[in-house]
Structure 1
Amino acid sequence: MVRSNPQRRAALVDAAIEVLAREGARGLTFRSVDAEAAVPPGTASNYFANRDELLTQAGARVYERLVPDEQTLAEQRAAGRDRETYARLMRDLVGRVSGFRSGYLALLELRLESTRRPALRAILTERVRADLDANIGYHLESGLPGDATSVELLYLALNWLIVEQLTLPDVLSPAERERLVTAAVERIVRE
């Protein structure tokens, strides 16, 4: 197994994300990843021991790509500490996550696949829990209104809003989605 080219590995994992989003977990093969990445046949099998490793790394890579850049984090830190600001931050978050459509759809595929693969479920559970805990910690340190339960409730509500937007985009208009994010913050977050 080749592990010496990190750029090639990242390109293969990014290709796996695209395959997952387009074809689902059942369509994810080394051959499909090679084709998506436009590399010679057999390349992916040189970088990953098995399909489970490829699935796991695809999930981790989605989270890496969803982390806000330093400029976004700096703007968040400099923003106000009221519910209106919090609502704007949540609308921005929904927009950023929805903007990586293939990544979020790949995560949904991985979640479905994890119901059949206990090892993948364990890894995803650990990763999602760590992400949720990090979000709670960031929120509590930020001085924004609300508590840990507010963060958890918004996490659940906004995740489904994103699913709706990516899978059935005509159910709610963009204006309705923005209004609902604001309403969720106003109703869930106590000042």
Structure 2
Amino acid sequence: MGGVAYGSGRQALLDAAIRVVSTQGLRGLTYRSVAAEAGVSHGSVRYHFGDWATLVEEALASCVERSVADAELSSDEPGFGQFASGLVSLVSANPDAQAFQYELTLEARRRPELRPVMERVNDIYRDAVQRELARNGLDDRALAELVFMTIDGLVFHQTAFGDDQRTERAVAALRALLSAYAASRS
């Protein structure tokens, strides 16, 4: 392994941490496993992140930032025609990032200290959905929660099973339901 390129070290280590957790679970995440995945010394991991919790939180933040943008939960166009149109490509482009988040979600059940972190992550996704629904006249927090959980389930199934067509059909059905509901309230 040639190691990480200068200037890309921090992101390369975050990406390595995501891959380790997605394949080995959170219990497999150590400085050594991340260093081995990235092709650097384990001292580099400690240098960049200081402690294990910071590594996990920064890797998670990196995943969430990319996922919110790539899922296309918001649009400049009126209506729901493009809502969540990036779900399949989001998972296809980086299934490890999604698996990483689900691993952390499950681990939060066993490690209470992770629960507030994962709640904040879900709030970010939930708020993105809420904003898009409100932009289209559906300012209803309960509906936003339902749509968020539906999208989360779709991403989970796409991550686990990779059935692009099934996911695309489900996203199209979700868009149709939202459009019909919005029209019925006008």
TM-score (norm 1): 0.77
The structure 2 residue matched to 1:185, chosen from 150, 154, 175, is 175
CA offset at residue 188 of structure 1?
A: 5.2
CA offset at residue 102 of structure 1?
A: 0.7
Please state if 1:23 is matched with 2:27: no
In structure 2, what is the equivalent of residue 80 of structure 1?
Answer: 78
Aligned partner of 2:111: which letter?
R
Aligned partner of 2:105: which letter?
R
Relative to structure 1, is the Cα distance of residues 73 and 164 closer, same or farther in structure 2, using a 3 angstrom cutoff?
closer
Relative to structure 1, is the Cα distance of residues 174 and 137 closer, same or farther in structure 2, using a 3 angstrom cutoff?
closer
In 1, Cα distance between equivalents of 2:172 and 2:83: 10
Assess if the C-alpha contact under 8 Å between 1:15 and 1:36 holds in 2.
yes
CA offset at residue 65 of structure 1?
A: 1.9
Aligned partner of 1:10: which letter?
Q
In structure 1, what is the equivalent of residue 160 of structure 2?
Answer: 167
Please state if 1:98 is matched with 2:68: no
Relative to structure 1, is the Cα distance of residues 109 and 37 closer, same or farther in structure 2, using a 3 angstrom cutoff?
same
What SS does the aligned partner of 1:149 have? Answer: helix
Aligned partner of 2:129: which letter?
N
The structure 1 residue matched to 2:151, chosen from 136, 150, 158, is 158
Relative contact order: is structure 1 or structure 2 higher (C-alpha 8 Å, sep ≥ 6)? 1
Q: CA RMSD in A?
A: 2.6
What SS does the aligned partner of 2:40 have? Answer: coil
What number of residue pairs does the alignment pair up? 174
What SS does the aligned partner of 2:86 have? Answer: helix
CA offset at residue 6 of structure 1?
A: 7.0
In structure 2, what is the equivalent of residue 49 of structure 1?
Answer: 50
In 1, Cα distance between equivalents of 2:59 and 2:130: 24
Bigger Cα displacement from structure 2, 159-168 vs 15-24:
159-168
CA offset at residue 127 of structure 1?
A: 2.7
Provide structure 1 residue ranges, at least 5 long, that are not aligned to the other structure.
none
Relative to structure 1, is the Cα distance of residues 10 and 109 closer, same or farther in structure 2, using a 3 angstrom cutoff?
same
Relative to structure 1, is the Cα distance of residues 12 and 104 closer, same or farther in structure 2, using a 3 angstrom cutoff?
same
Provide structure 2 residue ranges, at least 5 long, that are not aligned to the other structure.
1-5
Aligned partner of 2:124: which letter?
A
Assess if the C-alpha contact under 8 Å between 2:34 and 2:42 holds in 1.
no
Please state if 1:63 is matched with 2:64: yes
CA offset at residue 160 of structure 1?
A: 1.3
In 2, Cα distance between equivalents of 1:175 and 1:42: 44
Aligned partner of 2:148: which letter?
Y
In structure 1, what is the equivalent of residue 103 of structure 2?
Answer: 109
Bigger Cα displacement from structure 2, 149-158 vs 12-21:
149-158
TM-score (norm 2): 0.79
Assess if the C-alpha contact under 8 Å between 2:129 and 2:147 holds in 1.
no
CA offset at residue 145 of structure 1?
A: 5.5
CA offset at residue 146 of structure 1?
A: 6.9
In 2, Cα distance between equivalents of 1:124 and 1:176: 27
Relative to structure 1, is the Cα distance of residues 67 and 161 closer, same or farther in structure 2, using a 3 angstrom cutoff?
closer
